[in-house]
Structure formats: C-alpha cells, structure tokens
Amino acid sequence: MVDLKQCMDRLGYRFQNEGLLRRALTHSSMAVEQHRMGEDNERLEYLGDAVLEHLVSRHLFDAHPEMREGALTRLRSSLVCESALSAAARRLGLNEHILLSRGEEQCGGRDKDSILSDAFEAVLAAVYLDGGLDQAQRLVDEYVLSAETLENRSSSKDSKTAFQELVHADHKGRAIRYELVSESGPDHKKLFTMRVLVDEVEWGTGSGPSKQAAGQAAAQMAMERYRIECD
C-alpha cells in the first residue's frame, strides 16, 4: 500500500481526487500483476511531459530574451532529461511511493532513472489535472527550475553527460562514440588522448592521465565547438 498522505505532504499539495495521485504512482508492471491493464501512469506521463515542456519553455523564453532557438532547446533538454527528472523524483521521495510489481521491485525498479522520471511527469500531470496550471507551475519551479536545483545540476554534471544532452537535444538518434587516439609515457605517468565522434565525425580531442579524464576533456572541447557551430 502507498501512503498517499505522506506523498501529498512532500508534494505540498492536497489532492481533491486522490485516485489521480494513486494512478500517477502506479507503474505498468503493477497494473499487469494485478490484472488492471490500462490503470497505470503511462497516459499521465504522456500529459506530464507536455505540461513540463510548456512550463520550462515559457520560463526559459522569459528568462533569456537574448538566447536563440537552438540554445533554448538544448538548455530545456538538459533540464527535462531523464537524469534531471529522476533526481527531482528522488528529492520528492517518489521512489518510496511508486507501486511496482514484485518482479520489478526485485530488479531494483525503485531506483531506475527511467521509472522515476516517468513517475515525476505522471505526478506533475496529476497535479495539473487536479489543481490547475498554477499548482503544476509551483511544482516545476521548486523541483526543476529553482536556483538550488540548477546549481546542483550544473555542479554534478560531467562533460560527457552534458555533451550527450546537448547533442540529443537536436537529434536523439545521433551516435556518440569515444575512441582512444594515443597512449604514451611510463606506466606510472601515462598520458592518454581520446577523441569523441558524433555519427563518426570527430568533434573534439582531449588528453589526461586516464582514459576517463581524456574523454572528459574531449567532451568539453566538443561541447564548446558544438555550441558555436550549431547555435
């Protein structure tokens, strides 16, 4: 059983129709296990995705009058991506309230980014349907657009993740690959050089004392070039 009261306390919103919140927290695996097909959060997740995109787009449009369409799109993508929304879901404690099947629970579904991000969007839709756009805006402002959230997001994001989000904001199907170019120096003082390719076209190179560090440097260079050439 899910504790809807505790969940509403964390949301800071009291539902008139608590059934909306329950459905928003019901993963498809639970609906299948209980033979209640269609009584999951997938339709709400669809609506929540649209509500979130609208609210974030309007915020960025107003907050950055100098920013061009391409940059706005990439910034929005970084704010509403799976990792950002799953982090918001964890801060809300949704991972404790999601209704999962026994199998999904055993497979660690309660901590899967995909399940958590979908749940956040579904809960946002439920709040929107029950309380209107102003209540949905409040939730987005607090968990997606707050200064603290944006600062934490920026400081915790590595260059590889940031570059991936930048590229996939324009085209989700693009293939990003990192390749070792060279390795030199004695074992105790190695220097690695990596390059990053998007659809097999090189966008940046970088060097470092490990492949991981070199890859991060390559991603940083690629990000700077991508912003200039694709803005």
- Dist CA 181 CA 192 (whole Å): 8
For every residue of 107-122, DSSP letters joined together read TTGGG-HHHHHHHHHH
- Residue showing tokens 């929107």: 128
- Residue from 45, 49, 130, 165 carrying the catalytic annotation: 49
> How distant is the alpha carbon of residue 16 from its chain centre?
29
Q: Provide the residue type at 41 as one letter.
A: N
- Residue from 40, 45, 118, 121 carrying the catalytic annotation: 121
Q: Provide the residue type at 115 as one letter.
A: I
- The sign of the dihedral angle between the CA atoms of 24, 100, 33, 14 is negative
**Is residue 49 annotated as a catalytic residue, yes or no?**
yes
Whether 132 contacts 52, CB under 8 Å: no
Angle at 72 between CA 66 and CA 74, to 5 degrees: 145
Phi, psi of 198 (to 5 degrees): -115, 115
Whether 140 contacts 52, CB under 8 Å: yes
- Residue showing tokens 């309007």: 58
Whether 218 contacts 194, CB under 8 Å: yes
- Dist CA 132 CA 190 (whole Å): 58
Phi, psi of 94 (to 5 degrees): -65, -25
- Residues serving a catalytic function are 49, 121
